[in-house]
Amino acid sequence: MALKATIFKASVQVSDTDRNYYQSHALTIARHPSETDERMMVRLLAFALHAHEALEFGKGLSTDDEPDLWHKDLTGAIQLWIDVGQPDEKRLRKACGRASEVVVYSYGGSGAAMWREQVADTLARSRNLSIRKIAVADSQAMAKLAQRSMDLTYTVQDGQVWVADAKNTVQVALE
């Protein structure tokens, strides 16, 4: 019997002074059985950093031809492709060919560092690809904020990010 996704509800307030974007979003997040709270919270962070009315979550880990998040224009062209974790080099090349901009949010310590070394050539050749590293302590601290029903505030100012719920605040440094 196949396991079903766990559904999370998130009320997300985004205050991004760097982009002059201030908006509330009511999100429903399906967490795949093999997905951790840490990865799900990094997906939410990616949403907040690129929040837009057309930004959507992909179908999930089991779908190879869709990203974790994407923004399509009215013609269906992919403006932004966002992956979380350590996608393989073939997937990155394909994404760079399909989207105007590709962003990867990498987390996970030494494994992520080795992955970045492996995809360095692809990164150098692809002008529309950027990789943003999240420190292990930051992604693990965000994971502790995960609940089935969440009220989260994301504040972005001068390249710094703060994620807060009613009791805790996590500062996230992106490289």
Segment 121-141 shows an average pLDDT of 88
Q: Looking at the domain assignment, is residue 77 inside a domain?
A: yes
Q: What is the CATH number of the domain that holds 49?
A: 3.10.640.10
Segment 65-72 shows an average pLDDT of 92
Amino acid code (one letter) for 140: Q
Q: Looking at the domain assignment, is residue 83 inside a domain?
A: yes
Q: Looking at the domain assignment, is residue 1 inside a domain?
A: no
Q: For residue 148, what are the CA distances in angstroms to 17, 56, 75, 169?
A: 28, 19, 35, 18
Burial of 98 (0-12, 13-18, 19+ CB in 10 A): middle
How many domains does the chain fold into? Answer: 1
Q: Looking at the domain assignment, is residue 57 inside a domain?
A: yes
Per-residue pLDDT, 34: 87
Contact partners, residue 36, CB within 8 Å, separation at least 6: 143
Q: Looking at the domain assignment, is residue 34 inside a domain?
A: yes
Q: Looking at the domain assignment, is residue 32 inside a domain?
A: yes
**Strand-by-strand arrangement of the 160-164 sheet:** 21-31, 6-16, 149-157, 160-164, 169-172
pTM score: 0.93
Q: Looking at the domain assignment, is residue 96 inside a domain?
A: yes
Q: Looking at the domain assignment, is residue 162 inside a domain?
A: yes
Taking only the tens place, the pLDDT of each residue in 9-60 is 999 999 999 999 999 999 999 898 889 999 999 999 999 999 999 999 988 6
Whole domain around residue 61: which residue ranges?
A: 6-172
